[in-house]
Structure 1
Amino acid sequence: MENENTGHDDGKTSAAADAITVAGLLLAAGRARRMGEDGPHKLLAEFDGVPLVRRSAQVLLGADLASVVAVTGHRRDEIEDTLSGLDLVITFNPGFASGMASSLVCGFSRLEAASADGVLVMLADMPAVTTGQINMMIRRFQSEGGQSVVRCVFDGKRGNPVILPRSCYAAVLQLTGDIGARPVIERSGLAVIDVDIGPAAHIDVDTPEAVIAAGGILTR
């Protein structure tokens, strides 16, 4: 009898977890100052023949996300053209020059993000992150009842992406300046669940040298 009850409860728990939704937010608005004045755009660098921003969007679109929102800014026309044909929502951040906070506010203000139980924030310049790793984060968020922050780490050091639960949304909307979600996480009082995804958590390509080292080809 005990085994039968356990199996029944597990089924209900699994169904409840699956009902917890996560939206994806792809940040692709930055000015990429470290690429050099009038230098090539890191998000247009090609990895396996695909521009990085499109590759990152495809990683999210392949995951178990309720929706994907991409925030654009610097060199908007080229970035949005590169994302054309994908099943995502593109929103332009007119204040992108003020820093990352404005892009977070722009993305979290979209109904597609605001209506989900959690929002997975991913920087568009992380070529090593995979759909499988994103799904691993989603499953962990769901298993925690959608009430905890889920953060990628490698070797004990925090990285990206990160999932923020609904209780953090109001604080995100108050962010200003060139800061990310770290202050929100630190002040939230919520449990922070670290998920080790290996080196991918730390690989972002902020310089031409980093693009090349990660296997990319600079284009335009």
Structure 2
Amino acid sequence: MIDTLNTTLRRVPPWSLYILAALYPAWLLQQGVTGGLGVDPVKAMEHDLGRRSLQLIVAGLCITPLRRFTGLNLVRFRRAVGLIAFFYICLHLTVWLVLDVQILSQVWADILKRPYITIGMAGFLLLVPLAVTSNAYSVRRLGRRWNRLHRLVYLAALLGAFHFVMLVKGFQYEPLIYLVCVIVLLLTRLAPRRRRIPT
């Protein structure tokens, strides 16, 4: 079953994910313009893009455990998932900067005064070098350092989850679920690898 699924997935080009990813923000903008996002479309777009970004980061973290524990191989899609997550985070940040806050001096004040924004911005900055080096040239150029650099995604994922937890008002289960998912996915990387029994 897994082998069949892996064979089918090998026929799906990773670039198709970028096309699908571009459709969602376009749909979200259309909903905001036509009133489909409620009385505060800016906040709705801002929060929804942030949520989708975190979902994609979690999905990216799932790829290694899925291959390790189930045999499902989605590694060829990992770069696309990571870049799409970064793209959505950039849109999330752009909506906050341009449509929500709008005043540059207020942006800096919010980053310094509001811990959840400080944490979210730190997570974003950690992802910048990962996005810049997500290409074959950088992999060849950096060698083993590339893998060490891209482990920053673990810390960025934690910061993103904490950003969501601190953002919401009152006790809500959803951000805590994301935080638990990130922690569990990181812990799976500490599990000892099974040795192959020679046949």
| TM-score bucket of the superposed structures, by smaller chain | under 0.3
When the two structures are superposed, what TM-score results if normalisation uses the length of structure 2? 0.27
Kindly indicate whether structure 1 or structure 2 has the higher relative contact order, using CA contacts under 8 Å at least 6 residues apart. 1
Highest CA radius of gyration, 1 or 2? 2
Bigger fraction of residues in strand: 1
Bigger fraction of residues in helix: 2
When the two structures are superposed, what TM-score results if normalisation uses the length of structure 1? 0.26
